[in-house]
A and B are shown apart, each in its own frame.
Chain A
């Protein structure tokens, strides 16, 4: 008997890579949008502050992209190395979106390279701005394709199974599987809201530290908080649709998230709490009938409980916390950004007061946590399946004993990359703060900045 089992290590290595990768993947999807918006406003309003915003965001973005690219390469290869049996199957059914994702990535990479090195090369400023569009599109589309792959694992479609072989494969149907639309919606919205929150956090910290260039940071805050509000509402809608989808097609995942054991009508929504020894929920907040409403848009509808799923096929109950935390953070983001909008409309109040800024500082890190929790919920929630209903993770993992060494190899890699990422970003922005850069490149702007 070995003292570790390859399946657990395989899961750990993939979880580790993805938890690390999605930080940068989320930034990779969202940041280009805000660079594009800032540059566009800058050209339209002839406001150098926005131009500088676009430039500085782009500079930080390069560093995140670099890690996004290398960890993305890692996960793409790891899929075959760690889950050879799964990829053999995936190759037959869902190679198409994987392949197209690489095209989108390719497209983005080319234009990002061009964008970064052509700031002063075109006479018409809009020409340079146009280069952001393929980057925004490429980033968004690669998220779309990769989400369809993940959706397939949750709601496989587009093939029939005969004697353990796939027949009548329809790649398009596999790609556009039932859960894909709502998940794409939720993933894109979540990325845009998270990045808005992170950029808002940066601006809020800068304003709290009162180092100067206040006008610049206030403009940054306005773009990002308005975006946070819009996208957090869209993401919530996407999340609601996802919950309704789960209730109908993947009830065990929703039931595990809600600790909803018995099938019943007018099911309660359970917030937080814990389980005692007899698996009873204790210390929770109960919202009567709300789970039925969440699942079917009707307070008295019947919601399928976990008991209907065979014991060996139930997801772990810990996903309840991930689900609750994700939802709570989402609501917090909508609330704070709404509060900011209201306060900024009232002339007598200063929207940039300390309390407001501190709340905004919290949004970025919390949003990123919500992304992690959401993915943990989505991924753990389909245990024990890798392809729901067809292949379990045990059947898919590699049997190589070296997997445990590889775990530590990658752990070391991510620690190094993460540390260097923080050091480099700090250096990049600390050695060249906004106020210095403004003075150097746009001296005419500095006068109005003292306010």
Chain B
């Protein structure tokens, strides 16, 4: 395999990792607020905060990892995306900052307040919306380069059905992933009342997720014919994704094996996400960043891949430790430790 393919695969894996962990986190924030408003917070919110407290920092790192990596492997990404995304990415930074620091302030510093919970829930939905602009503009036609000045066509962006479909898909997918994870976590903690609540949320958000996925496909077919055709050619990947979705829904509906159900959902998004990425090949940003032509020099690519392997050898055992202590430790989840 060539360096650029290894590079983009690794980065895509990390972005996928971020999508999963961040979805759980963002969705949990929304649900915590929703539960408070509907006066069910005493049932669910202890469960949510027990999971979130030790991992919120790790979630952030996945994102930093992705964009430091992409600038490393594909330096022109810094130039084009950096120039074009100044405004949306700055907003994402501010939202992430509010969310992350407020989390610490509230959980370690003082008592929960409604304003905070609202901000926490709302930022969780706005962050994916502002970050997903990057996915939209990668389809091409949203940025111009004139005399060395790269700028984003805001009007074009805000009136694009594709942009809105992607935003909506991101939001509903987050709620779906998060609810199904919380279902698993509640069953792990043997918390029956919470389980009943979060299971309903998971079942509810499944439908809009699938609808928005299809809407996005339609919008994409109008925007970028090449990408759409490639996706059709990769139909088997998307069928696998659909298959796992059906398995997950079945399990959630019958109400058993929630762990397997969540893994099925992770696989569903894994295939959808990789299918989407593979179909975009060979562009990172249509037509400015071509994967093969914009990859960094050979020695840097080798160094990054070596650093990556070394880093993973360090990270994977640590992450497993973290999960064993907080995720798979039934006593912790139950609140006994």
Check A80–B97 contact: CB distance below 8 A.
no
Candidates B71, B98, B100, B326; contact of A117 at CB < 8 Å: B326
User: Is B221 in contact with chain A by the CB < 8 A criterion?
Assistant: no
- Per-residue 0/1 for B149-163: is the Cβ within 8 Å of any A Cβ (1 yes, 0 no)? 111000000000000
Check B75–A114 contact: CB distance below 8 A.
no
Candidates A82, A110, A413; contact of B58 at CB < 8 Å: A110
Q: Give the distance in Å from the alpha carbon of A106 to the alpha carbon of B98 in the complex.
A: 20
User: Is A356 in contact with chain B by the CB < 8 A criterion?
Assistant: no
Check A118–B325 contact: CB distance below 8 A.
yes
Check A81–B89 contact: CB distance below 8 A.
yes
Check A92–B297 contact: CB distance below 8 A.
yes
Q: Which residue of A lies closest to B111 (CB)?
A: A427
Candidates A88, A398, A410, A413; contact of B75 at CB < 8 Å: A88
CB-CB under 8 A from A427, the residues of chain B are 109-110
User: Is B303 in contact with chain A by the CB < 8 A criterion?
Assistant: yes
Main secondary structure of the interface of A (DSSP, over half): helix
Check B90–A81 contact: CB distance below 8 A.
yes
Q: Give the distance in Å from the alpha carbon of A73 to the alpha carbon of B58 in the complex.
A: 12
Check B96–A73 contact: CB distance below 8 A.
yes
Q: How many residue pairs bridge A and B at CB < 8 Å? A: 230
Main secondary structure of the interface of B (DSSP, over half): helix
User: Is A95 in contact with chain B by the CB < 8 A criterion?
Assistant: yes
Q: Which residue of A lies closest to B312 (CB)?
A: A103
User: Is A16 in contact with chain B by the CB < 8 A criterion?
Assistant: no
A110-B318, A399-B83 known; A66 vs B101 contact (CB < 8 Å): yes
Q: Give the distance in Å from the alpha carbon of A148 to the alpha carbon of B89 in the complex.
A: 26
Candidates B82, B110, B304, B337; contact of A398 at CB < 8 Å: B82
User: Is B245 in contact with chain A by the CB < 8 A criterion?
Assistant: no
User: Is B211 in contact with chain A by the CB < 8 A criterion?
Assistant: no
Check A100–B307 contact: CB distance below 8 A.
yes
Chain-A contact segment, one of B59-67, B176-184, B257-265: B59-67
A102-B68, A424-B105 known; A96 vs B307 contact (CB < 8 Å): yes
Q: Give the distance in Å from the alpha carbon of A91 to the alpha carbon of B297 in the complex.
A: 9
User: Is B319 in contact with chain A by the CB < 8 A criterion?
Assistant: yes
Q: Give the distance in Å from the alpha carbon of A111 to the alpha carbon of B314 in the complex.
A: 12
Check A84–B83 contact: CB distance below 8 A.
yes
Check A109–B57 contact: CB distance below 8 A.
yes
User: Is A85 in contact with chain B by the CB < 8 A criterion?
Assistant: yes
What's the least CB distance linking B215 to chain A, in Å? 29
| Chain A residues numbered 72-109 whose CB sits less than 8 Å from any CB in chain B | 72-74, 76-85, 87-93, 95-96, 98-103, 105-107, 109
User: Is A344 in contact with chain B by the CB < 8 A criterion?
Assistant: no
A73-B96, A88-B79, A99-B72 known; A106 vs B297 contact (CB < 8 Å): no
What's the least CB distance linking B206 to chain A, in Å? 30
A88-B76, A91-B71 known; A63 vs B104 contact (CB < 8 Å): yes
What's the least CB distance linking B327 to chain A, in Å? 12
| Chain B residues numbered 47-62 whose CB sits less than 8 Å from any CB in chain A | 53-55, 57-58, 60-61
A166-B297, A413-B97 known; A81 vs B82 contact (CB < 8 Å): yes
What's the least CB distance linking A242 to chain B, in Å? 27
Candidates B57, B76, B90, B322; contact of A69 at CB < 8 Å: B57
Q: Which residue of A lies closest to B326 (CB)?
A: A117
User: Is B45 in contact with chain A by the CB < 8 A criterion?
Assistant: no
Check A406–B54 contact: CB distance below 8 A.
no
Q: Give the distance in Å from the alpha carbon of A59 to the alpha carbon of B109 in the complex.
A: 9
Check A98–B101 contact: CB distance below 8 A.
no
What's the least CB distance linking B147 to chain A, in Å? 9
CB-CB under 8 A from A72, the residues of chain B are 64
30 residue pairs bridging A and B, Cβ less than 8 Å apart: A62-B108, A63-B104, A66-B57, A66-B101, A66-B103, A66-B104, A67-B101, A73-B96, A73-B97, A76-B64, A81-B82, A84-B78, A87-B71, A91-B73, A91-B74, A96-B72, A100-B307, A107-B315, A117-B326, A120-B337, A134-B318, A169-B297, A171-B299, A398-B82, A406-B87, A409-B94, A416-B98, A420-B102, A424-B108, A425-B109
> Other than the known A81-B89, A88-B76, what 17 A-B pairs have Cβ atoms closer than 8 Å?
A66-B57, A67-B101, A73-B60, A76-B67, A77-B92, A80-B77, A91-B78, A95-B68, A96-B307, A99-B304, A101-B68, A103-B310, A103-B311, A110-B319, A116-B53, A117-B326, A413-B94
Which residues from chain A sit less than 8 Å from chain B, CB to CB? 59, 62-63, 65-67, 69-74, 76-85, 87-93, 95-96, 98-103, 105-107, 109-114, 116-118, 120-121, 134, 166-167, 169-172, 398-400, 402-403, 405-406, 409-410, 413, 416-417, 420-421, 424-425, 427-428
**Which 5 residue pairs of A and B lie closest in terms of their CB atoms, listed nearest first?**
A91-B75, A95-B72, A66-B104, A87-B78, A80-B82
